[in-house]
Amino acid sequence: MSFDFAALAQQFVQVYYQQFEADRSSLLPLYRDVSMLTFETSQVQGAQAIVEKLVSLPFQKTQHKISTLDAQPGSPNGRDVIVMVTGQLTIDDEKYPKGYSQVFHLMPDGDQYFVFNDIFRLILG
């Protein structure tokens, strides 16, 4: 049986952005204590600290529009997956969306996956 890392990535990203847009605190189960988030220039580690950072961001509404989604196996023998997303992010009621890129490193945990690494950057200029 082959491992469909692209389908896993697609499903994960849909769930992640739906939860992010609806209620950022609902992202807690997607992270673990070993997880790390780099959001622009800020780094935090641990599920609780990551969600606190995401919830504290200075906006209420977001809308992610995915432009590209790429996925690759994260290691030769593992079932971990690296996912790179680029897209447009609309914050609150801004007229013009901002470009963004986000990389997730997904690790298996039993029959589920968690975010081991999450790197987010706005694309400005």
Output the pTM of the full model: 0.94
pLDDT digits over 69-84, tens only? 999 999 988 899 999 9
Domains of the chain and any CATH numbers: 5-123 (3.10.450.50)
Reading the block at residue 1, the tokens are 């049986």
pLDDT digits over 76-116, tens only? 888 999 999 999 999 998 999 999 999 999 999 998 999 99
- In the three-class reduction of DSSP (H, G, I as helix; E, B as strand; rest coil), residue 12 is classed as helix
| CB within 8 Å of 36: residues ≥ 6 apart | 43, 44, 45, 50, 116, 117, 118
How does strand 81-91 pair with strand 62-73? Answer: antiparallel
